[in-house]
A and B are shown apart, each in its own frame.
Chain A
Amino acid sequence: MTWFLDNFAYVWELTVKHLVLSVIPLVVGFVVALPIGWFASRHRRLRGSVLSVGSLIYTIPSLPLFLVLPSIMGTKILDPLNVIVALSLYAAAVMVRSASDAFDSVPAEVLDASKATGFSEARSFFRVQLPLAGPVLLAGLRVVSVSTVSLVSIGALVGVSSLGSLFTDGSRRDFGTEIIIGIIGVVLIALVLDTLLVLAARLLMPWRSVVRSSGRSV
């Protein structure tokens, strides 16, 4: 506890870095995965291959990826951009499947009805498909959010500081308190992000709470 209070400024700084390194890949991954998932959901025949590429990317171990990316992108080995790009890739890889499932979950009769009432393709995407895919997209985002927050720690091994630095530092010095503080920090970040996602969803999808509480009357 004393160590934590003495080093509060340092831990806080690492927490903020950790948060930034988590949120950027989450947003980038989501934005990249959305159109790809939509495409996969629309083109049944290509769906399999698109999703396999996603799974394949996700199987690349993170540490080698952090080390290889600088030579591909021409960045310095300590550049946080390496971690951000790698984690964005993972986030997108996982999110593509969720996004594809999410667009599949939009009821066919609603799509048909919106087309018949005169929605253009673009309007139908933004006003009908995207909102109705929301619940499944949210479920996917929550999983990706947790996994990204935990993956950020590994960046510490290649010198990109985050709460993971407390693990590397703590184990090098054989100092358990530091590691525990790091774990608590990571868990807290994951919880906060998850809560924010759920709250945002409630704001953006007000019809869902109604559906759940009222039940369907005939």
Chain B
Amino acid sequence: MIEFTSVSKTFPDGTQAVEDFSLVLPSRTTTVFVGSSGCGKTTLLRMVNRMVEPTSGSIAIDDADIASRNPVELRRSIGYVMQHAGLLPHRKVIDNVATVLLLNGVPKKEAHRRSAEMMEIVGLDPSLAGRYPSQLSGGQQQRVGVARGLVTDPNILLMDEPFGAVDPIVRAELQQELLRLQRDLDKTIVFVTHDIDEAFLLGDQVVILQKGGRIAQVGSPADILAKPANDFVRNFVGLDRGKRTLRIQQHEGRSIVVDETGKATGVLAE
């Protein structure tokens, strides 16, 4: 469990990124911070592994305040996947995956064995182990990033717009892959995105943020769709534009689901 208590962050240039933010992120679930740029979502994420220090307030992991933890140790205990994969260009794929193991002093052979296993779990061909990151496609690099984040089997995985820079087809593939991984691994995932569809797809708990890290609404995707808290949320999730409005039409004896404009999008299961 990750708990934010009255967390604020003002950057040295005076920008107030987060103001009095409090929230509990339950263990073994995916919490998605979603909002437009400047809403403080990445700042919130980076405070969990002390990449950003809060100006006031506290963050606790399983009731232990992280301010008392050594930042380097803390970061090694938390998986982190970032937008541009952030791989080390001068290390081979297998060494990139093994990064944290090697930092923790796991013998190289053992580290490589575990990394090879993790590569398989995230769907990377073993033949890529000896390549350098620049020889991989964007989607493959992102998978390496995920493998690196998971290789130490951390309880917490932080993901900062991890699929933002890949094309839509690969993104959809990676999203499904993450859902599958999460079913098996049961991590506490904190996921940041500006894409509400991605948030609804991946999140057990979705946190819609307004400027300054103010929470517009927290809830499951169904909660939010059923009871949007205000006009900001209605607009953000697309309820006001009819984007989420589906209707059923009878056609050839089947119930066809159509969207606001009457385009068929699916068939109702009988």
Q: Is B232 an interface residue when CB atoms closer than 8 A count as contact?
A: no
Interface positions of A (Cβ within 8 A of B): 107, 109-110, 112-120, 123, 128, 131-132, 205, 207, 210-211, 214, 216-218
Q: Is B87 an interface residue when CB atoms closer than 8 A count as contact?
A: yes
Is B132 a contact partner of A210 (Cβ separation < 8 A)?
yes
Cβ contacts under 8 Å, A207 to chain B: 89-91, 132, 134
Grouping DSSP codes into helix (H, G, I), strand (E, B) and loop, the B interface class, with mixed when no group exceeds half, is loop
Q: Is B80 an interface residue when CB atoms closer than 8 A count as contact?
A: yes
A128–B148 CA distance with the chains assembled, in angstroms: 16
Interface positions of B (Cβ within 8 A of A): 46, 49, 51, 72-73, 75-76, 80, 82, 84-91, 99-100, 103, 131-132, 134-138, 148, 167
Q: Which residue of A116, A123, A131, A205 contacts B75 across the interface (Cβ within 8 Å)? A: A116
Cβ contacts under 8 Å, A112 to chain B: 51, 82, 86
A109–B90 CA distance with the chains assembled, in angstroms: 14
Is B84 a contact partner of A128 (Cβ separation < 8 A)?
no
Q: Within the complex, what minimum Cβ distance (angstroms) separates A101 from chain B?
A: 18
Q: Can you list 28 A-B pairs with a CB-CB distance of less than 8 A?
A: A109-B82, A110-B88, A113-B80, A113-B85, A113-B87, A114-B86, A115-B75, A116-B46, A116-B75, A116-B80, A116-B86, A117-B76, A117-B99, A117-B100, A117-B103, A117-B148, A118-B73, A118-B75, A119-B72, A120-B72, A123-B103, A131-B90, A207-B90, A211-B89, A211-B134, A217-B135, A217-B136, A218-B138
Cβ contacts under 8 Å, B167 to chain A: 218
Is B103 a contact partner of A217 (Cβ separation < 8 A)?
no
